[in-house]
Structure 1
Amino acid sequence: MKYKEMKLGDVAEINMGQSPNSKYYNSDRKGIEFLQGIRTFGENYPSFDTYTTQYNKISKKGDILFSVRAPVGKVNWSDRKIAIGRGLAALNVLPNFSSKYVYYFLKKVGSQINSISSGTVFSSINKKELANVKILIPDSLKDQEYIGTRLALLDKKIELNNQINDNLTA
């Protein structure tokens, strides 16, 4: 299997979040789900406790949610249209690349990306820095899909084992 080094900006469209005015936030399920950052990130998917009736930026179903502020580099999947705040970016992987592969690559190296971030009060990464993050990717889309699918299957098994463990302790 041959690999090439690419920039994340050449593999995915990067949509940086932008927070709406907080007067539009609510916990009454009015509007659409809103994520400011990783507070409600799960292992692979976020949960929601905040909604907004106005928003500036969204992630679409299938996008990779990537934390760009304190800490930088955490990832989750967007499984629906979500309003995103300034702590997140939505990565829409381009058609010639595997979203699953990119997701698991970023999940593995996210903490290393945090080390290149800057910020006096807390760490952050801007769009240009994120676009320049290097990603090692197989030449073949078929190979990318194979790796991504295998890792997704392992994640599902881990999730199932965690559910079984939770049920045993309940």
Structure 2
Amino acid sequence: MSISVRPAIEPDAATILRFVRDLADYERDPEAVVATEVMLAQALFGPDPAAEALIADMDGQPIGFALFFHNFSTWTGRRGLYLEDLYITPDARGSGAGKALLVALAKIATTRGCARFEWSVLDWNDPAIGFYKSIGAQPMNEWTVFRLDGDALASLAAS
């Protein structure tokens, strides 16, 4: 079995959406996915891309992806790399594909001069947490993620 990592291309939009839906199922929130293939293609490959993606292939077949974008730290004065989604199909877990994606992302971050490479993980996802700790990632336990969306976002914007 041969694992390779490559930048996603526009024809990968359908595969990425399938992986996003599979990830939402795994994270126990399948109804939350409202993205469409067209929306992802525009966001990733349109004239002003909002994010980038990598595809992990095993023997030429897609088995996972990582979707990421840049953020910025005022404390470091440099941009960072934020991993939004990492997903490997169940039958390919343990193959090294997840680590291959993280290695590729770390290389992108260092090549682009990023000060940090960050992501979030659900607190019940023990396999992922264990894996991330095994590669040297540290949890940011003193931070709490906040989110505004839906009616709360609209209400604040209208005030």
Give TM-score scaled by structure 2 length. Answer: 0.28
TM-score normalised by the chain length of structure 1? 0.27
Whose helix fraction is larger, Structure 1's or Structure 2's? 2
Comparing both chains, which one has the higher relative contact order based on Cα–Cα distances under 8 Å and sequence gaps of 6 or more?
A: 1
